[in-house]
Amino acid sequence: MMRVLHIVGARPNFMKIAPIIAEMRKYPESFESVLVHTGQHYDPKMSGVFFRDLELPAPDVFLGVGSGTHAEQTARVMLALEPVILERCPDLVVIVGDVNSTVAAALVCAKLCVPLAHVEAGLRSFDRTMPEEVNRIVTDQLSDLLFTTEEDANANLLREGVAPAKIHFVGNVMIDSLVKALPKIERSQASERLGLERKGYALVTLHRPSNVDDPASLATILGALADIGGDLPVVFPVHPRTAQNIARAGLATTSGALRMVDPLPYVDFLHLCANARLVLTDSGGVQEETTYLGIPCLTLRPNTERPATVSLGTNRLIGLDRRSIETAARAAMNGGVSEGRVPPLWDGRAAERIVTILQPSEARRSAA
């Protein structure tokens, strides 16, 4: 029996851990799962509703670290997590993605010599001004098992000197959650509730510090969105960081065609995504979800750590000035985005592959 401690903290972690826990539960003789929530995200709309939609068990341990500067938040996770690891003595710790909770957990486990598996390893934007890039590099160096979502990630890890035996290309657990939720996504009434016609609106998400922390950049983007709203309704579920910055910069009263709403639950958000004419985003996960769903995606960033979404999928990186955003959006509205392909192994079975690799060797032998 292997005791596995799964660590989550922020919204994009929940849909990545859910399929792994669900898969391990199929083998109760092999795995005992303990779920730790750091509390990096704590608003019900950023956390609780995702547990419901993803059928995640309630966390066994809640660390309640909350918000803060990068050092504060990372340090608080480390301080709160260390005694949990010492008490629970896991055989393996599983971390996902690239948020501050991820790197904090990696540091704690590496110092305590607890084996560490990183899911979604090897992604690189090559932009160290992005906090997640720092988290990704450190986490990968400290991990014992690295599960990758796309082939570029393998090349990045090998270039950084990670031993090939540690790296496993397994596909995308985020897509596992999406595939499982497809029937619920179809049944969701979110578009009707918001008075939106299918394929008759644009969906926006925005929360990168590089876009929303600077009032001038934020004003430029909101201006472009309001203009796009003249042609097509724009619905914008606003992340708490972005909401605060919009309020602080006095930008809350934009045109009526730009509909700002609260953050949406997982299923409702993906329903809006699947039925949008186009999506504009600076999120990592949304670039992947739109690629899977075949929805045109314009990414408001100069780079992406998920190149398969551009080379194979429906994603395009666009400039951050008002004109480029508007021009790219108009082209996408008029069908000017090439059809994409779903990247290899984004098939809903990534967690299955991960759990097969993690099976204690006797169980693997008897299953063979």
Known catalytic residues are 207
The residue among 125 and 254 lying less far from ligand UD1, judged by its C-beta, is 125
Q: Which position among 4, 92, 99, 350 is part of the footprint of ligand UD1 (CB under 6 A)?
A: 99
Query: Which is nearest to 268 in space by CA: 56, 97, 49, 55?
Result: 49
**Piece of the chain touching ligand UD1 by CB under 6 A; list 36-44, 273-281, 295-303, 345-353:** 36-44
User: What's the 3-state SS for the chain?
Assistant: CEEEEEEECCHHHHHHHHHHHHHHCCCCCCEEEEEEECCCCCCCCCCHHHHHHCCCCCCCEECCCCCCCHHHHHHHHHHHHHHHHHHHCCCEEEEECCCHHHHHHHHHHHHCCCCEEEECCCCCCCCCCCHHHHHHHHHHHHCCEEEECCHHHHHHHHHCCCCHHHEEECCCHHHHHHHHHHHHHHHCCHHHHCCCCCCCCEEEECCCHHHHCCHHHHHHHHHHHHHHHCCCCEEEECCHHHHHHHHHCCCCCCCCCEEEECCCCHHHHHHHHHCCCEEEECCHHHHHHHHHHCCCEEECCCCCCCCHHHHCCCEEECCCCHHHHHHHHHHHHCCCCCCCCCCCCCCCCHHHHHHHHHCCHHHHHHHC
Cα angle: 20, vertex 206, 223; to 5 degrees: 165
Q: Which of 6, 8, 12, 174 binds ligand UD1 (CB under 6 A)?
A: 12
Q: How far apart are CA 119 and CA 15, in angstroms?
A: 12
Q: Which of 48, 131, 294, 344 binds ligand UD1 (CB under 6 A)?
A: 131
Position 42 contacts ligand UD1 (CB under 6 A):
yes
Q: Does 289 bind ligand UD1 (CB under 6 A)?
A: no
Nearest distance from residue 237's CB to ligand UD1, in Å? Answer: 11
Q: 107 or 228: whose CB is closer to ligand UD1? A: 107
Which region, judged by CB under 6 A, interacts with ligand UD1, from 104-112, 213-221, 238-246, 339-347? Answer: 238-246
Least distance in angstroms from the C-beta of 242 to ligand UD1: 8
- Angstrom distance (rounded) from CA 304 to CA 74: 24
By CB under 6 A, residue 43 contacts ligand UD1: yes
Q: Which stretch binds ligand UD1 (CB under 6 A): 6-14, 49-57, 268-276, 333-341?
A: 6-14
Does the protein bind ligand UD1 through residue 100 (CB under 6 A)? yes
Minimal distance, residue 45 CB to ligand UD1, in Å: 8
Which of 41, 168, 259, 353 binds ligand UD1 (CB under 6 A)? It is 41
Closer CB to ligand UD1, 205 or 314, in the complex: 205
226 residue type, one letter: A
236 and 207 Cβ atoms separated by less than 8 Å? no
Check residue 207 for interaction with ligand UD1 (CB under 6 A): yes
The nearest distance, CB 194 to ligand UD1, in angstroms, is: 21
Q: How far is the CB of 285 from ligand UD1 (least distance, A)?
A: 8
Tokens of 270: 């993906």
Q: Does 40 bind ligand UD1 (CB under 6 A)?
A: yes
Interface positions, 252-271, toward ligand UD1 (CB under 6 A) = none
* Angstrom distance (rounded) from CA 265 to CA 146: 29
Based on CB atoms, which residue is closest to ligand UD1, 24 or 300? 300
Interface pick for ligand UD1 out of 166, 241, 330, 341 (rule CB under 6 A): 241
Assess 10 for contact with ligand UD1 (CB under 6 A).
Answer: yes
**Residue 11 within binding range of ligand UD1, rule CB under 6 A:** yes
| Binding test (CB under 6 A) with ligand UD1, winner from 46, 137, 155, 249 | 46
Stretch of 42-50, 76-84, 248-256, 352-360 lying at the interface with ligand UD1 (CB under 6 A): 42-50
Q: Nearer to ligand UD1 by C-beta: 45 or 330?
A: 45
Note the residues at the interface with ligand UD1 (CB under 6 A).
10-12, 40-43, 46, 67, 73, 99-100, 131-132, 207, 239-241, 244
